[in-house]
Structure 1
Amino acid sequence: MTFTSETEAFEFFNAYAKRKGFRVRKSIIKRDKTNGAIKFRRFYCSRHGFREKKHIDKPNRKRQHKLLTRCGCPVKFCVKLDKRTGTWWVQDFNDCHNYDLAAVDTAPFLRSHCFISEAQKLEISSKRASGIQNCQILDYDARCRGGYQNRGYQEKNLYNFSTVHERSRFLEDDADSIISIVSCENDETYRWLLEAFLEAMYQVRPESVITDGDLAMGKAIKSILKGTTHRICSWHMERNAKKYIHGKSAIEKFHKLVYTCTSDKFETKWKDFKKEVSKRSPSRQWLQMIYRLKESWAAAFVKKKMFLGMPSTQRSESLNARLHNYIKCKMSLCRAIQQFERCLTRMRTKEAELDCIAFQKEPVLQTPFLDLEKSAVSNYTTKVFYIVQKELKNIQHLSIPIKN
């Protein structure tokens, strides 16, 4: 029997070993002294030889001994290169085992038979990038190939490959830096984040920023984004205020401070509001804190700043809600970034689909107010148009009495 290469000889013997129920181990190698090329190769049964005593009699051992695998099995497969023809031929072969071989259903778990081919690696990487979990990949591949024994790899191989592949996509130092930002919300990490943001934006600072009421974030913005107008989200202000404000009158006064109060009347209305709240709430510390931050939330100070009509981080919270469906707290950094990319891809796909509907299809006009409906069709999305159309339907039967 001859082979075209040493690799082909190994693959043949390994395939034979799988059918028989044992695993293969590479051993002695001999090279040509003139050019260093391999001219002889010996393969053993993995249970050839015995474990050295120094590994068994090691003093002060803390870990449990690994299970013994070697029992002196004499099986070997030796191939030699024929320099004249360039082919490899079998020089020696012994097939007499001294132990019971593995059954057909257990042989696929032997080490030399558990590996992921290059084609499978590409397929697994594609599935992982699409959000398919490792456990689902295992089940899918086993079903497609007629069972786990034909899959070629096992659970441990898959998880090891996934971990190494994902880590290779990122520099370790960068990953550690990002993990510290995610896990520790304080002034130092926020400063690092904003400095990284400025570097990515070529030191161009934003005109304005809206955040929640995190004091550490506010402090970092004031230090790093000098000249940027910082506004505290109005929704977060209202949510926090519910803990300390009680009574309809006090809530109405606070709403005016947040949304409508002018600068010349702020101090007067604040004193009136503070007096109202002090009657019903013992929390003076909260009142003092929001007063110090008045320039970040009160309409008197933020009304004329550029926020494009946005008083809150509602858009950001909407994205956060979507991300919660993809990203879990126990995910690795690499996996979280993959899931983030999946989320954005789906959002963009859905947006493109809705754009196609908006530009290629038109809703049916159903009210007497055709000019208004046509204007709504050309200026609004289909979803918003139906809201307008519903209102037009509700008013079409109304009549306005005219006095003579």
Structure 2
Amino acid sequence: MEDNIEEVEVVNSEYSIPEDVEVLYTSSIVDQLESKLLVGHVVKSVEDVYLLYCNYAHAKEFSVKKGDQRYFPGTTDLQSKKFECSCEGSKDEKRSVEKIPIYLKPTNRTKCKAKLKISRQMGGEWKVGRFVVEHNHDMVAVDQRHLLRSSQNISHAQKSTLEAMVNAWISVANAVAYMENDAQGSHNLSFIRKDVYDHLGRIKKHTKVENGDASALLHHFISKANKESHFYWNVQLDDDNRVMNFFFRDSRCQVDYEYFGDVMSVDTTYRTNHYNLICAPFVGINHHKQNVMFGLAFMSDETESSFEWLFRTFLESMNGKQPETIFTDQCQAMMNAIETVFPYSHHRLCQWHINQNAPSHLGSLNGDTRFKRLWKKCMSHCESEEEFEETWRIMME
């Protein structure tokens, strides 16, 4: 079996060396990085090997995504972790035969088998257990590889330079143009202009939790964990070691999720008054049709990376159990993170948010009483799939 911790395998690839000097240099880098990823090689941590694999992918011109992970039975300690080519899998493989996709997004997935897997024994060192280098698709062009998602990263030095230029009233466009010129082309930078806007936007929106409040929060979590063995908490820090996002759940949340976690709602509508943090409760419904809490998070922003951290943290706190269905609003960053972290869950949009956003798309139909009556029936009063389909057909006509 592929997921057997004891299994080790490497699939070697023969590289044809072109005469072009730049390609020769790139091939040399690929060879050097591959030598550090051979089966049995000891790695420092999950984070270190992920960065190493991303550097390897950048040199070889493909993108990386984080794959499945396993825990030691009965614990929250990570046992194995996979990193895969972004072309792994196929778009609709997680849907059953009966399920018809509501929409189809373009995909470049080709069921590529290239991957890296690391594993360890309890308390032992992380080692490379599987390294497959063969791809079943073409690599991106060299001058396009800086656009690969796993290749995009702004270093601390680059962040400092950009922030200093923007603070000196230099426009973002001119600041990026300067750095592109300094690097002798945009393809030599590890980020694109959107990454810069996202970074500067986070700085502008993010109000750091003051040291006293952050210390009090951590003290509270530690105290709760000491008193309650199944209390779980986690905190994400930014590059300056400021509290950015945090999540917690108690033992009652874990028990409720075990019984009622098939359907879950994640709502990021509300913010706190003092620090402008986003309140993100994980909510379900019990057998008495009452709301139950599965966990609670506070976030400084709504970026895809923050949501990925949040959902992976939630999944870790619940021993890897994924919900059957997740209801959210129409936040694209959250939708992307759900697709990455919860690949086997069905994602649906919250009815309240649909009703809030629909009028801006309906134009003159907003004043049509017959249409509004049929819309309301579709949204709330159809008792069978057949009744909904018929009502929807009449409404569309």
TM-score bracket relative to the smaller structure: 0.3 to 0.5
Structure showing the higher helix proportion among its residues: 1
- Pick the structure with greater CA Rg: 1
